[in-house]
Amino acid sequence: MDNLWFAFGLTMAAGLSTGIGGLISVRRRNPGPRFMAGALGFSAGVMLYVSMMEILPKGVDQLTEAWGKVNGNWAAVGAFFAGIALIAIIDRLVPEPINPHEPGTIDDPEVSAQRRRMMKMGTMTALAIGIHNFPEGFATFISAMEDPQLAIPVAVAIAIHNIPEGIAVAVPIHQATGSRRKALSWTFLSGLAEPAGALVGFLVLMPFLGPVTMGVAFGMVAGVMVFISLDELLPAAEATGRHHTSVYGLIAGMATMAVSLLLFL
């Protein structure tokens, strides 16, 4: 029982580190185009790198364990593009959020459309990261239950790379709403997926989870995050007119995520 509470607390701390990223991103009350270009590019870099270098390879590993090298790789690639197809369909079907209470946007269609787009981008990013964090939380919880000493560096590594994920969520929502509170709320909400994954996994899913289920889930999440990066984050960064800043932000996001994954190999 002592290990149970330790494991859950460790998972909670790792998950809520997304809030640190949120705090970093909302320090500027009125971010200019240079900051927005860099921040959105950074967010895209984080999501692209973690999708292609961590999440999709995990899916491949799980599926090849279950179905062998050839079939497992085909299944992982299929899951990846299925995730892209799923989020593309959602992108077409879900109406853009409208907030008539934002002052100064109703009489300016261009500003209003930009804010709706940013809000949509932020909520989709939060959803994708939350889905990604769910199995991550379950994995942290299980490792802490089995070996608390091993789980600590795992949790620290997850916490470090959750910080830029929090930035990816908070930047567009802060820009859309002008509210630091809403931006922070969404970052913490996406981070809560990790303790939720631990709790649900412990109570319900543990007997049913296997390599196939986890492999397909990882592949689809990677596809979702790549689509959001290419369809939402990067175009929004470019729309600021700061092309080079967007690219520098993209590279910085990739580098930050790469270092966060290498620290605890």
Tell me: the pLDDT tens digits for 138-171?
A: 767 766 776 676 567 667 766 766 777 788 788 8
pLDDT above 90: residue 60: yes
pLDDT above 80: residue 28: no
Q: Which of 202, 216, 193, 197 is nearest to 125 (CA)?
A: 193
pLDDT of residue 23: 86
pLDDT tens for residues 76-115? 999 999 989 988 887 777 555 433 334 444 445 666 777 7
pLDDT of residue 237: 85
Q: How far is CA 94 from CA 16, 40, 121, 132, in A?
A: 28, 22, 12, 21
pLDDT of residue 97: 46
> Which DSSP letter does residue 170 get?
H
- Which positions make up the binding site? 133, 136, 161-162, 165, 194
Name which residue leads in pLDDT, 193 or 67. Answer: 67
pLDDT of residue 95: 52
pLDDT tens for residues 179-232? 888 888 888 888 888 888 888 877 776 676 678 887 887 888 788 888 878 987
Name which residue leads in pLDDT, 198 or 56. Answer: 56
C-alpha distance across the termini of the chain, in Å: 29
> Which DSSP letter does residue 54 get?
I
> Over the chain, what is the mean pLDDT?
80
Burial label, 122 (beta-carbon count in 10 A; 0-12, 13-18, 19+): buried
- Which positions make up the binding site for Zn(2+)? 136, 161, 165
CB 175 within 8 A of CB 30: no
Per-residue three-class SS string for 185-222: HHHHHHHCHHHHHHHHHHHHHCCCCCHHHHHHHHHHHH
pLDDT above 80: residue 135: no
- Which positions make up the binding site for Fe(2+)? 133, 136, 162, 165, 194
| Mean pLDDT value across residues 34-54 | 85
| Mean pLDDT value across residues 42-52 | 86
pLDDT of residue 209: 67
pLDDT of residue 143: 63
